[in-house]
Structure 1
Amino acid sequence: MWEVFALRYAEHDRLGRDNYLLPADPHDALMPMDYFIWLLRAHDGREIVVDTGFSPAMAAQRGRRLVRTVDAALQDAGVRADAVQDVILTHLHYDHAGNLPLFPAARLHVQDREMAFATGRNMCFACMRHAFEVDDVVAMLRAVYAGRVHFHDGDSEVAPGLTLHRIGGHTDGLQAVRVSTARGDVVLASDAAHFYGNMERENPFPIVFDMGAMAQGWRRLKQLAGGDERLIVPGHDPEVRRRYPAASAGSGETFCLHLEPAC
């Protein structure tokens, strides 16, 4: 059994129409985006971080507002970034795979196809590479050469009760994380569904590599959750903060996904 925490570290104001590929609403209503990393804590004390967020410099470059730095978010949860032994990277976009120098002791878990995608011919096109940062990709390559990267091919187990599942769609090697908790198998969708609405309306976020894989991915997420959509957690939805209780310790920006949601 694991505990699962969503650690909010940044935010960005967007219009609702910008969060869906197909027209979702004729009005220009605000639909902000939250940025999270996730912390998994086993009953035996083992801790694994999912995704590494972006730095203050990248927040300024991309026009995002930091709520707190990633290392401060982890400190609020009682974790030192430089002591983390395992980091799962759901994919290599700038907001999920920055800050790698904060985790010098960690083994990095990534899908084969994501590394190939981020270093291959698709990156010749600006529309494909826009959400990647070359320095983050180079940091991953350095980690490969240092023997710190554990590659996964499709579905695999990282630890008892913790599995990875390639979904694709948003990027070629995007992976979801399924975690056994007291309330059931929580599925961290990451950017397979930015918002609850992307999956519920079958209307994707506009950054899509493979539309068919993304659409099939929504069904795969539901399958991984045993058909219970309340167990699926999207990657960027502020609704997560409203549905799940905040952790008792810290700044009030850490949320307990292993506890029952309010709705």
Structure 2
Amino acid sequence: MQQSLFSSSLCFRLAFLVAPALLAQSGPMPPPPLMLFVREEVKPGHGAAHSVTESAWTRTLIKGKSTDHYLGMNALTGASEAWFIMGYASFADWEAKQNEFDKNPALKHEIEKISQQDGDHLTGTRTFLGALRKDLSYGPPVEIGKMRYMRVRTFRIKQGQGGAFEEGVKTALAAYEKSHYAASFAFYEVAAGTGSPTFVVLRPLKSLAELDGMADAEKAFQGALGEEGRKGMQKVFAETVNAVENQLFAFNPKLSYPGPGVVASDPGFWTVKPPKEGAK
């Protein structure tokens, strides 16, 4: 990630659905109250080189004994991007991670050097903070260490229409429950970093094969809504939503600095072997 993310606030790149304080445990965990997203635009053809600098970043964090963990993922659809997601238990927890980094000048110096190399592979970055909307989320907690993909939906809402949009989502949630929709997703409302009101919805997936059953699940969902419910939802979303962006990502261990609990869920996937001596 680029060093510019550190320039005004050290929070922007030390670092998922699990707050770092809880990452020592494996197993299903609820999504954290706060989620920091770092969105990097990777130059075409620079994916492999970008992974190399990110791996160096991770090794430096391990050496510096950072406790601020994150997961990285590559876009399978849309623009050439890498996203990094970091969960926090509270604003105080977020601040503590900033202070931890600030008190380790050696780590900061190494990160600054690597970030300059990382910047050679990027065309831009954006960082934004999301607050969990538990009332708009759905499904049981997941074991994020066993997930391999993430579906991300971004809703950009018309000004003054946030409340109406939320009511539409709650109508959908009732239909999901009624149809026994087999999925879990976490709803985050963007608090800072991009246009507002914006909502980011994260749906982790063990396999892309889970999407093969979406047609049947959608049919059951529509049936649970009923004709009046479908008409009402269509009207609400037409009146409240400016745009919707759908993306698919694959988790990449080389872009990640996972906590012990995530690694424990699947060591074979998350443990990245260090490069051979002399290798760049």
Same fold by TM-score, threshold 0.5 exceeded? no
Under TM normalisation by the shorter chain, which class is it?
under 0.3
Q: With structure 1 as the length reference, what TM-score do the two structures score?
A: 0.26
Structure with max Cα Rg: 2
Provide TM-score, normalisation by structure 2.
0.25
